Amino acid sequence: MNIHSSQSLQRTFPYLYVLLCIVVIAYFDLSGRVDYATKSSLKIGLFGILPFFLLRRPKVNEMLKVNRSTKKILYVGIGMILVIVLGYFITKRFISYDLVIASLENRLNVTLDNFLFVSLYIVLVNSGLEEFFFRHFIPLQLRIPSKWTNRLVSSLLFAIYHVAILYGMFEVWVVLLMIVGLWIVGVFFSLLNQSGKGFLNSYLFHACANIGINLVGLLLFLGY
């Protein structure tokens, strides 16, 4: 392999790798052929373990370092939990949530019986995996000189990744709005990490957002 081909492969690798991750996880999300624990183990490998070793000398203490913004972001994140739950009660007049439970049970293999386990995984592990992958690993691998272009591209990949999860839960127009919203959220998460080299700030805020979403899921399972 010549130098030009090697450099070309290095530039395209992050895109190929994230495409592979999206396709594999989307397949299991849409097919419902494996239980949640198996799919989660696969995701830990694709989003966490492999990217961690692909980084050159990753420093965990820097990736999860507390900075001057961390405490404020945590407080705002707690407020976000209330906003999400309140938003559910407001939007249930306009959005049909009937498909959500059916999709969770039949396609994602999430039931009231395993809801606690799934919720803990989503908040503590999944939030960190996604922030490490989309806000740390991918931006470093893209090597785009413009910070904003890098931020927009990695956030777009973050939004596209969620298409398979949201598919079938809501009407098409709602899913499209959510994808645009996730793109914007991805950019916002990236901005939260500006004061440090890691992704702790966005991880904490993402975890808080997932707590709110999980509470909405619990309300749906309980019929509220």
User: How many angstroms separate the Cα of 8 from the Cα of each of 5, 14, 16, 141, 195?
Assistant: 5, 11, 12, 13, 32
CA 64, chain centre distance (Å): 17
**Which pLDDT value is given to residue 190?**
92
- How high does pLDDT run on average in the chain? 86
| pLDDT range class, residue 188, cuts 50, 70, 90 | very high
| pLDDT range class, residue 2, cuts 50, 70, 90 | low
Whether the CB-CB separation of 51 and 129 falls below 8 Å is answered with no
- Using alpha carbons only, what angle is made at residue 129 by residues 126 and 133, rounded to the nearest 5 degrees? 145
For the entire predicted model, the pTM comes to 0.89
pLDDT per residue as tens digits for the range 198-215: 899 999 999 999 999 999
| pLDDT range class, residue 7, cuts 50, 70, 90 | low
> Is residue 1 predicted with pLDDT exceeding 70?
no
Q: What is the CA radius of gyration of the chain?
A: 18
Report helix, strand or coil for 64: coil
End-to-end alpha carbon distance in the chain: 60
Q: Which residue has the tokens 């996730």?
A: 182
The tokens describing 194, both together, are 């500006």
Other C-beta atoms lying within 10 Å of the C-beta of residue 57: 4
pLDDT per residue as tens digits for the range 24-46: 888 888 877 788 888 899 999 99
Whether the CB-CB separation of 164 and 26 falls below 8 Å is answered with yes
Averaged pLDDT, 15-23 = 85
